[in-house]
């Protein structure tokens, strides 16, 4: 895949109007967008449909987790929206239900392992008796066993995850920051080149593009960095 199909820009903005303006500014430079909670609850789900109809790829970051029947019903409706990727928390039963519901659709289901804003201390506070890396690897193996399309993890775990998943599954890495950029609230970050070198298939970048003075130039710089790394 070329860099343009690997870069997912996170539309982490407050309104659909802001998202529309950003997509217009980025133009043909960006082909793949992520829509998460912030925009979804401000009219972003219909906007996601519009993006898909316009030919863009859409990563719907809903991190689903519920009883099996509810997860399956949600996935069936999301398939109808024309989405490219969908996240759910990497709990085995939820993943199995989602895989069955999405069968034959082409929707790439991604298991969220450990949020990139969390480290070992955060997991301990949440009651887990395992470190972040070990939990990511366990959930990666469970995602593969469930028949998922890939996982979401920190780029810091991408190399070890790729060894578990093999070459065919997606490894989507948020928390990507260009060299010298502020990490913000992310705790496990890498540069675009480092993430690709570690085995990531797709990079999710939000603030370094969305909040840049010139978002298109910022996206082009990241794509250039990715192209160099892939070469």
Out of 21, 56, 61, 182, the active site residue is 61
In angstroms, the first-to-last Cα distance of the chain is 12
Q: Is 61 a catalytic residue?
A: yes
**What's the CA gap between 35 and 50, in Å, rounded?**
12
Annotated binding site for substrate: 12, 34, 61-70, 116, 177, 186, 206-207
Q: Which of 50, 56, 63, 93 is flagged as catalytic?
A: 63
Active site residue 125: no
Instruction: Determine the Cα–Cα distance for residues 197 and 182; give it in Å rounded to an integer.
Output: 21
The conformational region for residue 58 under phi > 0 = left, psi -120 to 50 = alpha, else beta, is: beta
- Residue ranges of the annotated binding site are 12, 34, 61-70, 116, 177, 186, 206-207
Burial readout 27-39 (b: 16 or more C-beta within 10 A, e: otherwise): eebbbbbbbbebb
- Say if residues 165 and 153 touch (Cβ distance below 8 Å): no
Residue that has been written with the tokens 């987790």 in this structure? 65
Catalytic residues: 61, 63, 66
């Amino acid at each position: 895949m070329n860099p343009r199909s690997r870069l997912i820009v996170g539309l982490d903005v407050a309104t659909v109007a802001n998202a529309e303006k950003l997509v217009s500014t980025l133009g043909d430079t960006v082909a793949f967008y992520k829509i998460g909670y912030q925009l979804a609850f401000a009219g972003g789900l219909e906007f996601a449909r519009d993006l898909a109809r316009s030919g863009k790829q859409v990563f719907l970051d809903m991190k689903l987790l519920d009883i099996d029947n509810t997860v399956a019903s949600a996935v069936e409706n999301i398939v109808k929206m024309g989405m490219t990727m969908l996240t759910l928390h990497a709990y085995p039963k939820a993943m199995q239900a989602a895989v069955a519901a999405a069968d034959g659709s082409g929707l790439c289901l991604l298991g969220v392992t450990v949020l990139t804003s969390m480290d070992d201390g955060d997991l301990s506070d949440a009651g887990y008796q395992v470190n972040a890396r070990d939990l990511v690897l366990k959930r990666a193996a469970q995602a593969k066993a469930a028949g998922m399309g890939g996982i979401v993890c920190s780029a810091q775990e991408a190399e070890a995850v790729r060894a578990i998943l093999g070459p065919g599954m997606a490894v989507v890495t948020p928390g990507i920051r260009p060299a010298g950029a502020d990490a913000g609230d992310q705790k496990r970050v890498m540069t675009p080149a480092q993430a690709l070198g570690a085995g990531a298939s797709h990079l999710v970048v939000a603030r370094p593009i969305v909040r840049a003075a010139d978002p298109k130039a910022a996206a082009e710089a990241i794509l250039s960095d990715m192209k160099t790394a892939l070469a």
